[in-house]
């Protein structure tokens, strides 16, 4: 009887599958063919892999017309992958390529459903600085001042109490090795950014591309010091 962690780790421990999972870290739901392209394998092979990932409940799938949309099965899975990246970075720091495309990824990217990268870290720092957030390790708490601040921005906290997903959560950022904001509030912030058209998701990567004006507005809104 082999431990269950073996099965999960073995699923991630295949190059094609881990490429798919990384692609899904953008939070977007992708079709089977898109994932096959991402992993650089044929559709047949991808189909087999995806079936396994769904069966093991690492992914969930939604059928829409003749497409099948896959996404990570919740925050737990995303967090596990993030943790794996953390460890691989701390073991092999040279592995972080320093290409120009990579720089954008480090600046601001999607981590499942919230903002990561140096901008995400700056946001977190600023919220702490302003007294809106209290951070103790992995757990984070919104202060009264923070509740007021976000209520003024249009957040309706009452609606959120129904969900069991934590309001705030710190997520360790692999490129910065510091916390950024996850949880429902982290998700709200990035959705707010998109709805205001301050930034758009890059088509086939996890990069979040801010417009110059959007970046300025964002930094002003959250009192982030520009570098």
Partner DNA sequence: TCCACAGTTCGATTCACACCGAAGCAAGAT
Partner DNA sequence: ATCTTGCTTCGGTGTGAATCGAACTGTGGA
Shortest Å distance, C-beta 51 to its own copies:
16
The site partner of 22 among DNA, its own copies, none (C-beta below 5 to 8 Å per kind) is its own copies
The site partner of 52 among its own copies, DNA, none (C-beta below 5 to 8 Å per kind) is DNA
The site partner of 31 among DNA, its own copies, none (C-beta below 5 to 8 Å per kind) is DNA
Q: Are 206 and 106 in contact (CB under 8 A)?
A: no
The site partner of 7 among DNA, its own copies, none (C-beta below 5 to 8 Å per kind) is its own copies
Nearer to its own copies, 88 or 211 (CB): 88
Nearer to its own copies, 22 or 200 (CB): 22
The site partner of 50 among its own copies, DNA, none (C-beta below 5 to 8 Å per kind) is DNA
Q: Are 124 and 181 in contact (CB under 8 A)?
A: yes
- How is residue 47 written in tokens? 């189909």
Q: What is the DSSP string of 98-145?
A: --HHHHHHHHSEEETTEEESHHHHHHHHHHHHTTSEEEETTEEEE-HH
| Residues in contact with DNA by the rule CB under 7 A | 14-16, 31-34, 41-52, 65-68, 113, 164-165
The site partner of 76 among DNA, its own copies, none (C-beta below 5 to 8 Å per kind) is its own copies
Nearer to DNA, 47 or 73 (CB): 47
Q: Are strands 179-182 and 169-172 parallel, antiparallel or unpaired?
A: antiparallel
Residue 92 neighbours by CB distance under 10 Å: 9
C-alpha 83/C-alpha 80 separation (Å) is: 5
| Residues in contact with its own copies by the rule CB under 8 A | 2-15, 18-19, 22, 56-57, 76-77, 79-81, 83-92, 95, 97
Nearer to its own copies, 92 or 156 (CB): 92
Shortest Å distance, C-beta 87 to its own copies:
5
Q: How many residues does the chain have?
A: 227
In a 13 Å sphere around the CA of 40, the CA atoms on its Cβ side amount to 4
Residue 10, sorted as left (phi over 0), alpha (psi -120 to 50) or beta, turns out to be: alpha
Nearer to its own copies, 4 or 144 (CB): 4
Nearer to its own copies, 29 or 72 (CB): 72
Residue 169 neighbours by CB distance under 10 Å: 20
Shortest Å distance, C-beta 9 to DNA:
12
Helix, strand or coil, per DSSP, at residue 216: helix
């Amino acid at each position: 009887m082999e431990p269950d962690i073996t099965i999960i780790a073995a699923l991630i421990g295949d190059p094609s599958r881990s490429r798919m999972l990384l692609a899904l870290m953008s939070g977007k739901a992708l079709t089977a063919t898109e994932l096959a392209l991402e992993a650089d394998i044929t559709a047949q092979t991808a189909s087999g892999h995806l079936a396994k990932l769904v069966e093991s409940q690492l992914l969930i799938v939604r059928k829409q017309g003749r497409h099948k949309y896959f996404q990570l099965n919740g925050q737990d899975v995303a967090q596990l992958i993030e943790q794996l990246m953390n460890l691989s970075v701390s073991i092999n720091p040279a592995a972080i390529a320093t290409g120009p495309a990579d720089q954008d990824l480090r600046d601001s990217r999607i981590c499942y459903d919230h903002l990561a990268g140096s901008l995400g870290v700056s946001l977190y720092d600023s919220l702490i600085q302003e007294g809106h957030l209290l951070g103790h390790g992995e757990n984070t708490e919104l202060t009264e001042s923070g509740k007021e601040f976000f209520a003024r921005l249009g957040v309706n906290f009452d609606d959120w109490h129904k969900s069991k997903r934590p309001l705030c959560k710190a997520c360790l950022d692999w490129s910065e090795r510091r916390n950024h904001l996850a949880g429902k509030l982290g998700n709200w912030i990035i959705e707010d950014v998109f709805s205001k058209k301050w930034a758009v998701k890059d088509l086939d990567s996890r990069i979040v591309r801010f417009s110059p004006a959007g970046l300025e507005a964002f930094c002003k809104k959250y009192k982030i010091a520009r570098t």
